[in-house]
């Protein structure tokens, strides 16, 4: 069981590192939002699975596990929603994406 905990923590750190790399490397707002939103969500899922496995074996009551599950569900709903709101706001403020040929949302 300890192997699974370490595995999920390493996977989550990998996704969080990819998120930072994507924010640093990608050219415009839209690709940066995509990189940060997707990899942060996946990193948080694997990190919360690691904490669930860790506290499942310990003597701590089940209310802590239910709190972790509720927080995970809330973040799974809010993170993509916030990324969508930020990208729509950037589009409405006429921030152009780099290297686009066709804009299907224009008029």
Please report whether residue 105 resides in a domain: no
Q: Which residues contact 42 (CB under 8 A, 6 or more apart)?
A: 15
How many structural domains comprise the chain?
1
Q: What percent of the chain has pLDDT over 90?
A: 50
Please report whether residue 98 resides in a domain: no
- Tell me if the pTM is above 0.85: no
The distance between the two most distant Cα atoms of the chain, rounded to a whole number of Å, is 59
Structure tokens at 42: 């996946």
Please report whether residue 26 resides in a domain: yes
Please report whether residue 37 resides in a domain: yes
Domain extent, residue 47, equals 2-92
What tens digit of pLDDT does each residue of 26-61 get?
A: 988 988 999 988 899 999 999 999 998 888 777 776
Buried b (16+ CB within 10 A) or exposed e, 50-79: bbbebbeeeeeeeeeeeebeeebeeeeeeb
């Amino acid at each position: 069981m300890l192997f699974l905990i370490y595995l999920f923590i390493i996977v989550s750190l990998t996704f969080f590192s990819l998120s930072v790399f994507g924010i640093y490397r990608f050219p415009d707002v839209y690709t940066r939002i995509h990189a940060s939103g997707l990899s942060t969500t996946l990193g948080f899922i694997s990190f919360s699975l690691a904490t669930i496995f860790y506290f499942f074996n310990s003597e701590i009551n089940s209310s802590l596990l239910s709190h972790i599950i509720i927080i995970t569900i809330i973040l799974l709903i809010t993170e993509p929603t916030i990324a969508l709101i930020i990208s729509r706001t950037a589009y409405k403020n006429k921030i152009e994406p780099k290297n686009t040929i066709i804009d299907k949302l224009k008029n």
